[in-house]
Structure 1
Amino acid sequence: MTMPTHTSTWQRARRPVLSVLLALTWLTLQQSLDLGNVLTACVLGWGLPRLLGGFLGPAAQPRSFARALRLGFTVLWDIIVSNITVARLVLNPRSVPHPAWVKVPLTLTQPTAQALLASIITMTPGTVSAIVDEEGACIWVHALDCDDPAGVAADIDRRYQQPLMEILG
């Protein structure tokens, strides 16, 4: 008897990093390490990826954890700087923002990588990813204050998209 070559939903649902993150998130939200919370965290970390495995699609395998860590710090830094910039813009009565739509060409082809790029853009104050156009191979970003749309597109590509390509391919 030969084993089937396809992978079952159960096998595809194994995501150890997601499981650990879910368990840690539960424990952080509960702010308690008592036995009940630890057991609940383990059940959630083990069960949710398996329960939702069909909705999550194939797991992305990072090629470089060091590059992923650098990208994480870049995003964190950009969020901090953008918060300050947006606060100055909003709180200064003399400021006149120049909103703009920015078309960012997509070189990422993997759906998970595209979703991560859209999430990073949206998490950064002052920008919102509005449309991921797979047919047009671009993502449309609304910027709160933008004098140079081409420069913003180049920055998004250099700071986020290129590292994501190195990390996820």
Structure 2
Amino acid sequence: MIPWLPFPIVSLALCALWLLLNQTLDPANLLFGAALGIAAPLLSRRLQPLGYPRLHAPLTAVRLIAVATVEIVRSCFNVCYVILFRDFSTVKSQFIRIPLDLHDPYGLAMLACLINMTPGTVLVEIFPDQHEMSLHVFDLHDETWWVEMIKTRYEQPLIAIFETAPV
């Protein structure tokens, strides 16, 4: 039996988003928002062939989002500075490979999203058989710093969130 509200928070968020977009609380929009909140999670179940991920450490997820936000803003300023004020002959763009300990497909997808959202970095490819990823860095100064930064700031929290079972 399929529960009517498999994800009640998502359903409430969809209903609230519908009401905010329409800027009204009339009965028709309330009814449609509720229907949307119920139907969307039920209809999107087939889009999750591996099942829905379980987050084991929600506080770690909040901290990871905060760290990623700070890193994105900092990288925006760094990339702007490089583009506007530095001589391009001194910019060292390079591909690097980073070994991975993360194996969960949802964690790897989240890692790819976090890296690609950060200006100056692009995740090129994940090699699952070698447990590595290829990353392009716009202005590479120290490869070991990048490897350690990705592993400590992003990969370790993602392992705690997606792979480590609660104690």
1:58 to 51, 54, 59: 51
Give the drift of 1:142: 1.0
Does structure 2 retain, via aligned residues, the 8 Å contact 1:127–1:142?
yes
TM-score (norm 2): 0.82
1:153 to 143, 147, 151: 147
Give the drift of 1:145: 0.8
The 3 A distance-change label for structure 1 pair 127 and 22 is: farther
Mapped to 2, the partners of 1:64 and 1:149 lie a distance apart of 30
Mapped to 2, the partners of 1:59 and 1:142 lie a distance apart of 30
Does structure 2 retain, via aligned residues, the 8 Å contact 1:101–1:149?
no
Mapped to 1, the partners of 2:75 and 2:141 lie a distance apart of 16
Mapped to 2, the partners of 1:107 and 1:24 lie a distance apart of 38
Aligned residues: 159
1:90 to 58, 83, 87: 83
Q: Which moved more, 1:105-114 or 1:86-95?
A: 86-95
The 3 A distance-change label for structure 1 pair 59 and 88 is: same
Aligned-pair Cα RMSD in Å = 2.3
In structure 2, the partner of 1:168 is 162
Give the drift of 1:44: 3.0
3-state DSSP of counterpart to 2:42: helix
Give the drift of 1:149: 2.1
Mapped to 1, the partners of 2:133 and 2:30 lie a distance apart of 41
Does structure 1 retain, via aligned residues, the 8 Å contact 2:19–2:25?
no
2:102 to 74, 96, 108: 108
In structure 2, the partner of 1:3 is none
TM-score (norm 1): 0.81
In structure 2, the partner of 1:72 is 65
The 3 A distance-change label for structure 1 pair 67 and 91 is: same
* 1:140 is the counterpart of 2:131: no
Mapped to 1, the partners of 2:151 and 2:41 lie a distance apart of 31
3-state DSSP of counterpart to 1:135: coil
Does structure 2 retain, via aligned residues, the 8 Å contact 1:121–1:127?
yes
Identity rate, percent: 26
3-state DSSP of counterpart to 2:52: coil
